[in-house]
Structure 1
Amino acid sequence: MTGDLHCAKCGYNLKGLSVRSVCPECGLAIPATLLAKVDPHAAELKPIVWRIPIALGLVVWAAAGLLAACILWLLRTEDLATLFGVATPVSEGVSRRLGELAVTLVGISGLGSIAFIRPHAGIPGRQVFFAAVAAVAYIPMVFALHRLVSVFNIAIPTPYFGSSPVSVTRVLLRLAIGACLIVIALGVRPNARLLVARSMLLRSGKVDRQTLYGFAGAVGVGMLGDLIHLASTIGIGSLGSIARLTGTALIGVGSLLTTFGLLGLLIDGIRIMPTIIAAPISEHDVLGSRTGPEFTPHEPRRRA
């Protein structure tokens, strides 16, 4: 840039810097300053009133979901023990308590999802509605998961590699949980995109792509496996066995991808925390009443 342009956050004169770089004083991406000058009311620059609760809510939402998924993986070690013919590593009492902990963590994740409903002003009502539906979707999911782990996980501890027949009710509960997860992912996505766009603009001037579509797709793979499990109940002989093995494989792949998706969401939440917690760019700064010192990258700032 050849002309004077003062950082929208600290007032540093950005003359001589590339538009792809950041302010050397405060680290604000130069495209964010340009956007603030051109459109100070842009959605990416809207002030977040409850900055710390929103930032913590995003991280809690993903972290609690990831921990719940890890616990559910631990509950499936009994299936692996049966597959390899070793002693069961998890007792019934421990399994019951782990299941209750997983349900509690999913409920906590639901509370964290409230942060997506209206993180800042100016969000279209349709997006607020979708995020609210996503938060409400946790209610049936918690009930379905509680019944799954407290009843069927105890009655059928090895549903995939054991000798027990496929439980239609158990599969329907898993399908209900999967449907809730897809509703949640698609419901929070519009507002999550706003927050990610805000983070990438203020931090590096780029807008990252969200992983929530991929997360929903991973859940869909697991649901396809459950549907094949349902179909295996009407299969005859080897056809039913092949369908059951195919469904089990898809459930395993889908569950693994879903877990990695939750890990990615947690990493994204941690990445955008600083830009949510940071003080917003005010109109007072943007309109030029705070111009900052007249120094450039070629003139080191004088310190008192």
Structure 2
Amino acid sequence: MHRIAVLAMPPVTPFDLSIPETVFPAVLIDGEPVYEVTVCTADPGLVPGFSGRPVFVEEGLDRVATADTVIVTGTGARAAGDARVLDALRAAAAAGKRIASICTGAFVLAQAGLLDGRPATTYWLYSEELRRRFPAVELRPDVLFVDDGDRLTSAGLAAGLDLCVHIVRRDHGAAAANAVARLAVVAPIRPGGQAQFIETPVPPETGTSLAETRAWALARLDEPLTLRELAAHAHVSTRTLTRRFRTETGSSPLQWLLQQRIDRARELLEVTGLPVPEVARRSGLGTAESLRQHLVRRHGLTPSAYRTAFSRR
């Protein structure tokens, strides 16, 4: 059982606290839960809420010491750090624990010195403040989340969902991450490097969304889809398709398509015993060598090594 301590920084945002409690308990391997999630704070009891409504937190900072992963939530985290919290986080880092933050929780990690010389992100609205106050942090202000091994940081609100699903994927593979994402009704695949802020996150209700074209492409990943074929399905020019794809997803059509194929291959490696060449064919990556190159480039593992690490057949 992997123990996760969610550290509430007053005034708390209940949504931030709910993200780890929603994602991690839903992960089942062979029908058994693999994460235990506990919310804790420096002063247990009623913790002031950002919207004025307090949140009751029963556990104290001793939970940080016994956790395997510590997740610091945002909102009140930008204020001057509580020395007790900072000491607990430094001790956790020294013990080799994985430490993550959601939204402005990155400010607490920075105050503890845990992000010095490391890449990190936070909610885009406060990026410049983080850069100004903590110049030793290698700020990446435009991404959804940053995974730097034992330090992980996410942007605001919903990006915390992306980070938690990513942690599940890292721990237990794409199939487990996709399963929990479906239960939470969130997108299972939003790479950390995707832009935090895109011009039109929700397309207008005029029938111009490319959602149907993306669904059509997902059902045909094993076919050699071209930009022209995608544009023809959407009944637009290739130039319009590319522009609207970037608006809706933050990436180009072909970049998006490649990411879907890699993730399809990962899931096939995990949940089937198909030979690697057949996995490459069914995912649309063509050959075993092409699959190997993409998987090594994106995840540092060959197909056989990935299967060994994440197979849950």
TM-score bracket, shorter-length normalisation: under 0.3
What TM-score do the two structures reach when normalised by structure 2? 0.25
TM-score, normalization by structure 1:
0.26
The structure carrying a bigger strand percent of its residues is 2
Structure showing greater radius of gyration is: 1
More helix by share: 1
